[in-house]
């Protein structure tokens, strides 16, 4: 064992630290893409910690840390390739499209990776393994939070300011596919998972190197077992007597006006869903089912109000969302129509997709420097969503966690209240062509959010299948009740 450890140390020292970091980061990041890659993720993390205990030169540690975060972030954002071709914007040449996608992906990956240089500032002390591993786990969490902040700084624009919400690639997601392990999120979401993952892997490395004795391993094992038993007990799902119809659609993102055709399809699907007598119906993002009634309210049309009252008297709780334009700007608004009421409860999306819902300043600047000033103007006019900061989201029986807000680790927790029935998550992945990589990553994030908030989340998707995410981290796709032209209705009970 000692000879094997010595050989590993020599190999690590000889390989360039940046190359080693990128390789191990990619290996660890593979666990973000599929539940079957968890073993590779553990191996990548093990070798990551082993290198930190082997390399003595600080600038090499800094390069290694940057490389590791670079490889991991690259795997986390690999779904960006699914953006090509961009069919939802005015016609652009393939070169311009690929340049725009590469620019976005490169800036995002670099933002998440640069704080990894901070790993070079710490002098690792082998004599105090528990303290060392806790220090490393805390530092990795700080590095990833700084990466989120740097990403928001690079993506700053009229649609978004500086924040810590962008959590793609966090180490806490690497082992989240393990059901019992993921329940630890009840103590602090993906943040506690990050700390626990790095700490436990660090203890394994210390044991392998002979830096910790059997007594230390037993102490760690008992502590971990106690936490797992506690988290498993605290995350038992509650029977809420809900039967929710999930409507999933397959509308492709294009520049043509398909609103009328989509409205007919949505109306038919809602009519069918109501026949199964669910307690609630959740529609995909931007379904615009209530648009007619909403605009009628604005102008005071009596007949539309009468139709709305009739609909409310014969329908379960219906959750919809829409794009609302005021002048040159737009907002994403969620609506809820509760039984026996003629009012629409409104909520507003506060965390927007850079490039997709608003144009970051850096993108605008680069396009102008490249001679595409006209294109920059057109994009700024078309990608014109704004966060509606003054809108309230408190008190709804079913709060709405909008599409991109799934990457904001504390969003579901912030929506929870004593009377909540469940959280609705309408989404649309039409611009990413239902990327399976993105879908798995979002599934993981929603599972962790449901565990932390101890509130079930029900999603409904366009170009993606909605599901039920339970308080224990399990996922239920429900029963398929109706399917036609790639649109379907699922029923989940909880």
Domain boundaries, the chain: 2-234, 243-352+389-493
Q: What is the pTM of this model?
A: 0.91
Q: ∠ at Cα 155 (153, 159), nearest 5°?
A: 110
If we measure between CA atoms, which residue out of 244, 256, 245, 169 comes closest to residue 430? 256
Q: Which two tokens stand for residue 130?
A: 């528990």
Q: For domain 243-352+389-493, is the CATH number 3.40.50.2300?
A: no
Grouping H, G, I as helix, E, B as strand and the rest as coil, residue 346 is: strand
CB 101 within 8 A of CB 84: yes
- Cα separation, 51 vs 46, in Å, equals 9
- Cα separation, 206 vs 126, in Å, equals 8
Average pLDDT for consecutive 10-residue bins of the chain (494 residues)?
A: 54 75 97 96 96 86 96 96 75 75 90 94 64 91 98 90 95 97 98 97 91 86 96 95 96 64 89 95 93 60 64 82 85 80 76 88 85 82 77 71 95 91 94 85 98 98 95 97 93 97
Q: Tell me: cis bond preceding 16? Omega within 30 of 0 counts.
A: no
Share of the chain above pLDDT 90, in %: 56
- Cα separation, 341 vs 328, in Å, equals 32
């Amino acid at each position: 064992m000692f000879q094997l450890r010595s050989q590993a140390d020599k190999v690590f020292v000889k390989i360039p630290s940046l190359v080693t970091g990128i390789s191990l980061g990619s290996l660890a990041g593979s666990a973000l893409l599929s539940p079957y890659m968890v073993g590779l993720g553990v191996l990548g993390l093990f070798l990551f910690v082993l290198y930190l205990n082997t390399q003595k030169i600080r600038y090499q540690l800094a390069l290694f840390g940057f490389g590791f975060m670079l490889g991991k972030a690259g795997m986390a954002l690999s779904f960006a390739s699914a953006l090509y071709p961009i069919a939802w914007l005015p016609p652009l040449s393939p070169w311009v499209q690929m340049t725009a996608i590469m620019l976005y992906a490169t800036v995002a990956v670099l933002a998440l990776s640069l704080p990894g240089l901070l790993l070079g500032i710490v002098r690792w002390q082998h004599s105090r393994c528990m303290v060392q591993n806790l220090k490393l786990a805390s530092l990795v969490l700080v590095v990833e939070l700084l990466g989120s902040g740097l990403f928001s700084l690079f993506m700053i624009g009229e649609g978004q300011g500086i924040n810590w919400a962008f959590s793609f690639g966090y180490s806490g997601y690497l082992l989240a596919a393990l059901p019992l392990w993921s329940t630890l999120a009840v103590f602090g979401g993906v943040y506690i998972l990050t700390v626990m993952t790095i700490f436990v892997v660090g203890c394994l490395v210390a044991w392998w190197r002979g830096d910790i004795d059997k007594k230390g391993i037993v102490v760690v094992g008992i502590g971990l077992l106690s936490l797992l038993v506690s988290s498993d007990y605290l995350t038992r799902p509650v029977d809420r007597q809900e039967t929710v119809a999930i409507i999933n659609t397959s509308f492709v993102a294009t520049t043509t006006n398909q609103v009328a055709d989509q409205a007919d399809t949505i109306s038919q699907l809602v009519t069918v869903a109501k026949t199964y007598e669910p307690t609630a119906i959740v529609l995909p993002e931007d379904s615009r089912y209530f648009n007619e009634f909403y605009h009628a309210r604005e102008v005071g049309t009596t007949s539309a109000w009468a139709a709305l009252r009739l609909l409310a008297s014969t329908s379960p709780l219906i959750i919809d969302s829409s794009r609302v334009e005021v002048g040159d700007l737009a907002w994403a608004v969620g609506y809820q129509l509760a039984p026996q009421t003629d009012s629409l409860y409104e909520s507003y999306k506060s965390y927007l997709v850079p490039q997709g819902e608003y144009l970051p300043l850096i993108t605008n600047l680069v396009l102008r420097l490249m001679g595409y000033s006209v294109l920059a103007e057109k994009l700024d006019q078309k990608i014109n969503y704004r966060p509606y900061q003054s809108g309230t989201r408190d008190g709804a029986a079913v709060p709405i966690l909008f599409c991109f807000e799934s990457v904001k680790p504390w969003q579901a927790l912030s929506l929870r209240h004593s009377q909540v029935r469940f959280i609705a998550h309408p989404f649309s992945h039409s611009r990413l062509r239902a990327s399976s990589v993105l879908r798995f990553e979002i599934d993981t994030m929603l599972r962790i959010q449901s565990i932390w908030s101890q509130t079930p989340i029900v999603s409904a998707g366009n170009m993606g299948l909605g599901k039920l995410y339970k308080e224990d981290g399990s996922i239920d796709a429900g029963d398929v009740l109706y399917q036609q032209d790639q649109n379907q209705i699922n029923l989940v009970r909880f």
